[in-house]
A and B are shown apart, each in its own frame.
Chain A
Amino acid sequence: MPEPRAGQTPLERAWSDTTVETESPNGRVRVTMVGDHELRLWVDPTWYATVPVRTLQDELVKVARLVYVNRTRAYYDTWSRLAGRLVRPSRTPASPETEEYQRRLDEVVARGEAYDGRIALVLSGTSRFTVSIDPSVVRDLDAPAFCARAREAALACLREHEEGWQRAHFDVYTRPRLERAGVL
């Protein structure tokens, strides 16, 4: 019988309601995320109808990087608002555990796929993105249908990444405590 899980922290609750909107450099792609659980993707149908697959992939990678930057900024803004003071990331690893956790985070590779694997998003570490789109996708799907499938791939990738950082956090911070307590 697993232990009852603890509830969300105030920061987690606030973050789950935080909306971050991002537009790609050429303005043809927009991403709206709410916390870690909701993602809306819009691709300009006119542009999508004629864009080469390679260009579409590149633009999606660029917007994914911008999403990462905007979400990081929004996360610390949310935290600062809750704390009533400026909270920002530390410049250097604060302890061997921080260094190890960051190293483990950097090794997390999360993959999300949709449309029988023909749309795939890979996130390595926290900010390295790869987008793969089979050329048949742009022939078979119109822009709204593509957005729906790409959203599936992105959310799957986010879920896998969440599992990855939680595993890393557990190994670095929690496992030693449980081992010391003789539980593991």
Chain B
Amino acid sequence: MTFDVGQLPGRAQELKEAGVRAAYRELTRFGAGGGGGAAQMMQIAEDSMAGVENIYDDFLDVPDPADFAPKIEWLGNAMAKLATEGHTSDPVTGSTAVSAHNPNLTLVGGSGDYLSDWTGVAADSYKRSYGDRFAPTASSQYAAVSVLRNAINAEAAVWQGVRDDLDKLSQEAIELMEGAGSKGGAEWAAVLSIAATVITVPLTGGASAIALPAVAAGLSVASTGIGLATGGGGEPTELGLDAGSSDKVISSLQTALTELADEIGVQERKISEALNQSSGVLDSQWDVFCLPQPALVDAPNHPVNDPSYGGYSA
């Protein structure tokens, strides 16, 4: 269960109210105020917190990581169909991806043996171009689907990271505001986990040893349950922020939110670059991922037993 961003407006309001109290405290505590009167000090305090109730407005519609789970499940089912013998782990993360290989695929590779007493170009070419190449091709497709599945999981991880960070930042801002103006409360070591949500994984794709650039989630996404890639996530970013006064808590929070928004772009670029590059590999080496179309498809109605097409039994 990730943080519900629907709580953010309430936290913004709570921050604002704590901010007005803190600003008033600062303005009246240290011999300040110059005798301006409580009403004037309160007005200055309220003015200094103007607009804080909207501070999280840009983040109210961030996606829910759980929304990505169905797509990830569909792609997991596709991997289960494409899993040839010996391939049950996720090529990107190294963790278990499917419970067992698809036994039906095992039979395809040996199907050429059924045609051993056939002659003709089509029979030979079926065995050479289709039967023998079926397992490695399916294995490459299995790897390609894994790349796509992990890219979507990484996307879910980005939004989980954003929600985790918003949860922490919005809570810490209120805590710091409650203590603003204290001697030791001048520093805010805010940690953004989003920087560690996407990691790049060089992947050798299936039995064909094609290199597919991939990404994986740098944190465990609760709703998808995919394991972390070997090596785990990267390092979270620590922001050294000034929380020495109520207005500094607000400006520091804005700095952190800007950093968070920038990091969303950085992490998204990692995903799109990996997918673009993988897509380029698929385009340039299509024959690794797809079997040639059987000549039989182009055969005229008669005679399909011409050696150029189906051939015939000896």
Question: Using a Cβ–Cβ cut-off of 8 Å, how many residues does chain A contribute to the interface with B?
Answer: 44
Specify which chain A residues have a CB less than 8 angstroms from the CB of B183 in the assembled complex: 165, 169
Establish whether residues B244 and A83, one from each chain, have CB atoms under 8 Å apart when the complex forms. Answer: no
Contact of A178 with B44 at beta-carbon distance under 8 Å, contacts A90-B189, A98-B186, A170-B30 already known: yes
Specify which chain B residues have a CB less than 8 angstroms from the CB of A101 in the assembled complex: 186, 244
In the assembled complex, A9 has its CB within 8 A of some CB on chain B: yes
Specify which chain B residues have a CB less than 8 angstroms from the CB of A166 in the assembled complex: 29-31
Establish whether residues B34 and A178, one from each chain, have CB atoms under 8 Å apart when the complex forms. Answer: yes
Chain B: minimal CB distance from A110 (Å): 13
In the assembled complex, A38 has its CB within 8 A of some CB on chain B: no
Q: Mark B22-55, 1 if CB is under 8 A from A, else 0.
A: 1011111111111111101100100110000000
Measured as residues with beta carbon below 8 angstroms from the partner, the interface class of chain B is 35 or more
Query: Which has the most chain A C-beta neighbours within 10 Å: B37, B182, B243, B252?
Result: B182
Q: How far is the CA of A101 from the CA of B245 in the complex (A)?
A: 11
Establish whether residues B242 and A169, one from each chain, have CB atoms under 8 Å apart when the complex forms. Answer: no
Q: How far is the CA of A98 from the CA of B31 in the complex (A)?
A: 21
Chain A: minimal CB distance from B290 (Å): 52
Chain A residues close to B by CB (< 8 Å)? 1-7, 9-12, 72, 75-76, 79, 82-83, 85, 87-95, 97-98, 101, 165-167, 169-170, 172-175, 177-178, 181, 183-184
A5-B29, A9-B180, A9-B181 given. 20 additional CB < 8 A pairs? A1-B35, A3-B28, A3-B33, A4-B28, A6-B24, A6-B29, A10-B178, A12-B182, A79-B185, A83-B175, A85-B172, A94-B187, A94-B243, A98-B186, A172-B244, A173-B181, A173-B248, A174-B26, A174-B245, A183-B40
